[in-house]
Chains A and B, each alone.
Chain A
Amino acid sequence: MRLFSTDHRTIARQYFFLSLAAVLAGVALSLLMRFHLVWPHASVGWFEKLWPVKAVGGVMTPELYLSLLTLHGTLMVFFVLTLAPMNAFANLVLPEQLGAKGMAFPRLNMLSFWIALASFVILIGSFLVADGGPLSGWTAYPPLSAVGAIAGPGEGLGQTLWFFSIGAFSISSMLTAINIIATVIDMRAPEMPLSKIPLTCWNWFATAILSLLSFPVLLAAGLLILLDRLAGTSFFVPEGLLIADAKIAHSGGSPLLWQHLFWFFGHPEVYIAILPGMGIISQVISNFARKPVFGRTAMIVSTFAIAFLGLLVWGHHMFISGLNPYSAIAFSALTMSIGVPSAVKTFNWIATAWGGGLEFTTAMLFALGFVSIFVTGGLSGIVLGQPQLDAYFHDTYFVVAHFHLIMGIAALFGIFAATSYWFPLMFGRVMDERLGKLHFYLTFVLSYTTFGPMHFAGFAGSPRRYADFTTFDFLAPLMPIQRWITWSAFALAAAQAIFLYNLFHSMRRGKLAPANPWKSESPEWTRDTEIWQR
C-alpha cells in the first residue's frame, strides 16, 4: 500500500485506519471519564504520571475531566462518525457502484485525506501542550472558548489549536464532498443512469451535499472565533464580561451568534454521520433478505427529505439559550416532522426483510441492530424536540443517552455492518463470522445496558458535563445507576477487543474471500474482478 496514493481504495483504507485510531482513543477517553464519574476521589498512580499537573496525587481535576470530554467528543464526531461512514466506505465502493473508473479528482481525494490527517495531528497536539487540552467541549461555546487562557487552563494555546484542527477538518470535508458530488454526477458509466444507482450512492450523495453546505459555515465561524482569540475582535464576546474577576476588553459581540452558526453546521453533522449508515444497511438488509429494497423511490425521497429538514432545525439545540419562543415552535415542528421520513425508512427496512430468506450474517445482524438502535434513539429525539420538555432535559443525561444511541451507536452499527460486508474488498479475505456474531450480540446488549439507564438518570435530573456527582446530595440516590453505567461501559469496551482481534487476525490470516462471498448483485461485487488479483 503506497503511502501517498491517489487510488481511491487505498485512500479508503487510510481513512478506515485513521478512524480506527480515533475510535480507540475516543473509547479509552470515555472509560477514563466513566471511571472518574464513579470514583472521583480514587488515586491512580499512572494518572499522575500521565498528567503531573492535572492529576496531582493521581486524582483527576475537573479541568482534566473536561478536557477528556472535549477530546472524546471531537474525536468521535469528526474523526469517527464523519470520516468512517462516508470517506472510508464511499471511497472504497462508490466508483465501482457507479461504474466509474475512479473518483472524479484523485489528487484532490489524496489531499483531503492528508488534510484530515494533519487536522487529527493538530487535535492530538492541542491536548499535549503545556497548559493541557481545551475544556470547551466539541461545541466550543463562547465566550469561554473565545477569550483565551483567562477562561481556564487549556483555554489558551490548546483551544487555539483545537480551532485550527477543526478549520482544517472543514476544508478536508468540503473537498471530499466536492469529489463525491462530481463523481456521482459526471463519472457514472453510460449504463448507470441516476435512476439505477444503488441507494448507498444516493445516501453518500445526500451526505456530501450536507457536508458541502454545512462545513463552510463551521469554517467561517471558526475563522471569526480565531480572530476573537488572536486578533482582539469581538464577534462572539459580549460587552462588560467578567471572568476570574477581570473585565474582558472585548465589546458588543454575541455568544448566541456562535450557537447559530455552530448548530447550522452541527445539526446537519448528525445526518452526515447517520445517512451513509442508512444507505449501507439498506443494501445489507436487501442482500441478506435476498429481496430488492422495498420502496426504493420512497427511500431516496426520504433521504433527501431528512437532509433538507436537517438543514432547518438547528434551533432545537438552542431552546434554552433564550431563543424567541415563536421561533422555538417552528424549530420544534420542523424537528418532529423529521420523524416522518425516518418512519418511512424504518418501515421500508422491515418490509425489505419481511418474508425474505433471511441469512443472519454479522453484517445483517448489525444492520438489523442499526434499525433497533435508530428507533430507540429517534424516539427520545421526539421528546427532546419539544421546547417545554427540553427545558428540563437539556442539561441532563437524557440528552447524552439520546445522541449516543442515535448518532454514536447507530452510526457505529452501520460502520460495523460495512466493515464486515466490504472487508473482502478491503483486504481480500473474509472476517470470522463466529467472532463477528459474538461481537454483535455483546455489543447490542451492552449498548442498551450502557445508554438505556442514562435515560433514567436524566429523568431524575442527573446533569451532564459535571465532573463529580458526589458533591451534590440530590445526586447521591443516582450513584447506583451511574455505577451500573460505568461497569456496563467497561464491558462494552471489552467486547470491542473481539472486533479488533477479528479485524487484525482476518486481515492477515482470514479465509481468502471468494469472488462474491455474499452472492450480491451490487456492481462493486459483480463488475470488477481486477481487485482480486492484487
Chain B
Amino acid sequence: MATLTQSGIGAPPPTVPDLPTGGGGGDDHGGPERGNTRNASITGIVVLMCASTMTFGAMVSAMVVRRGLSNDWHTLPLPGILWWNTAVLILSSIVIDTARRLLRRNKRMYFNTLWTAGTIMGAAFLAGQAVAWKQLEARGFYLQGNPSSAFFYVLTWAHAAHVVGALAAVIYVEFRALRYELGPSRRTWVDVAALFWHFLDVLWLGIMGLFAYWA
C-alpha cells in the first residue's frame, strides 16, 4: 500500500562522489505521493505477466487440443542452436539479476557493466532465434506445414515479440544507467525490467520443454 518505499531512506552514501547521486525521489513520475508509484509499477508488471501467461496459455491449449484431434501430428526436430539460445537466455537473466542486486548496494559501475552484458546477451538470444527459424526453413519446416511447426513458429514468434518489448525496456535502463541516473533509490525501472526478463525465461523454458519432450 501507499508507503514511501525505499525513497532514498537508508540508502548507503554514493561511492563515487563526483557523479550525480541517482537518489532523491522514489521515481521519475508522479506527484508528491511518489512512493506508491513504485509499488504500482511492480504490480503493473506482475499483472502484465498474468495477461501474457493467458495469451500463451490459450495458444498452448489450442496446441494440445489440435494434437489430440487427428493423427497428422509430426514431431518437429528442433535445431541444436535452440539449446544454446536457452543457455544464453538463462545466463542473461542471471547477469541482469546480479546487476540489479549490485545497484541496490550502490555499485553503479559494476551494474553498468553487467547490465550491458545482459543487454547484449538478450540481443544474442534474438539473433539465435532468427538462426533457428532459418535452419528450420532450410530443412523444409514452414509455418504452413505440419501443425507442430505452425505452433512452433507462432509460439516462438510471440515469445520473440515479448523479448523485443523487454529488450526495449532493458535498453532504456541501459541508456539511463550509462548517464548515471540510476541508483539504489532510483531503480524501479531496473526491477521492473529484470522481473519481466525472468518471466521470459520461464516462458521460454515452458515452450522449449513442450517441444523437446511433448510435441
Distance in angstroms between the alpha carbons of A227 and B55 in the assembled complex: 16
Task: Report the nearest A residue to B146, measured CB to CB.
Answer: A252
| Best-surrounded residue of B36, B37, B56, B65 (most CB of chain A within 10 A) | B36
How far is it, in angstroms, between the C-alpha of A179 and the C-alpha of B41 when the chains are bound?
Answer: 10
Q: Choose among B2, B72, B147 the residue that contacts A189 (Cβ–Cβ < 8 A).
A: B2
The stretch of B43-51, B88-96, B112-120, B167-175 that contacts the partner chain: B43-51
Cβ B147 vs Cβ A252 within 8 A: yes
Q: A181-B47, A187-B2, A252-B72 are in contact. Are A101 and B40 (CB under 8 A)?
A: no
Chain B nearest CB from A110 CB (Å) reads 13
Check A235 against B72 for contact (C-beta < 8 Å): no
Contacts of B158 in A (CB 8 A): 223
Task: Tell me, rounded to whole Å, the shortest Cβ–Cβ distance linking A240 to chain B.
Answer: 12
A213 to B29, CA, bound (A): 28
Q: Give chain A residues whose Cβ lies under 8 Å from the Cβ of B43.
A: 104, 181-182, 185-186
1/0 per position for A180-202, CB-CB distance to B under 8 A? 01110111111001000000000
- Output the least CB separation between A252 and chain B (Å): 5
Mask, B27-63, CB within 8 Å of A = 1, is 0011101001101110110011011111111110010
Of the candidates A217, A233, A257, which one forms a contact with B144 in the assembled complex, judged by CB atoms under 8 Å apart?
A233
B147, A234: Cβ atoms closer than 8 Å: yes
- Tell me if B1 is interfacial: C-beta within 8 Å of chain A: yes
- Confirm or deny: A116 has a beta carbon within 8 angstroms of a beta carbon on chain B: no
Q: How far is the CA of A257 from the CA of B62 in the complex (A)?
A: 7
Residues of B within 8 A of A220 (CB): 54-56, 58-59, 62
The residues of A that contact B207 with a CB separation of less than 8 Å are none
Contacting residue for B58 out of A185, A187, A216, CB 8 A: A216
B54 contacts which chain A residues (CB < 8 A)? 212-214, 216-217, 220
Q: Cβ of B154 < 8 Å from any Cβ of A?
A: yes
Interface residue? A232 (CB, 8 A): yes
A221 CB within 8 Å of chain B: yes
Q: How many residues of chain B are within 8 Å of chain A by beta carbon?
A: 37
Give the docked Cα–Cα distance between A362 and B164 (Å): 51
**B36 and A224 contacting across the interface, CB-CB below 8 Å:** no
Instruction: Flag whether B66 is at the interface (Cβ < 8 A).
Output: yes
Partner of A227, one of B44, B70, B154: B154
* Interface assignment of B150: CB less than 8 Å from any CB of chain A: yes
Q: List 30 A-B contacts (CB under 8 A).
A: A101-B31, A104-B40, A104-B41, A104-B44, A105-B41, A105-B44, A178-B51, A182-B47, A185-B40, A186-B1, A186-B37, A187-B2, A187-B40, A212-B47, A214-B54, A216-B51, A216-B53, A220-B58, A220-B62, A223-B59, A224-B154, A233-B144, A233-B154, A235-B62, A235-B66, A251-B72, A252-B66, A254-B65, A254-B66, A260-B65
Given contacts A185-B40, A189-B2, 14 further A-B contacts (CB under 8 A): A104-B41, A178-B44, A181-B44, A182-B47, A186-B39, A188-B2, A212-B47, A212-B50, A216-B52, A216-B54, A220-B54, A232-B144, A252-B70, A264-B58
B-to-A contact residues, CB < 8 Å:
1-2, 29-31, 33, 36-37, 39-41, 43-44, 47-48, 50-59, 62, 65-66, 69-70, 72, 143-144, 147, 150, 154, 158
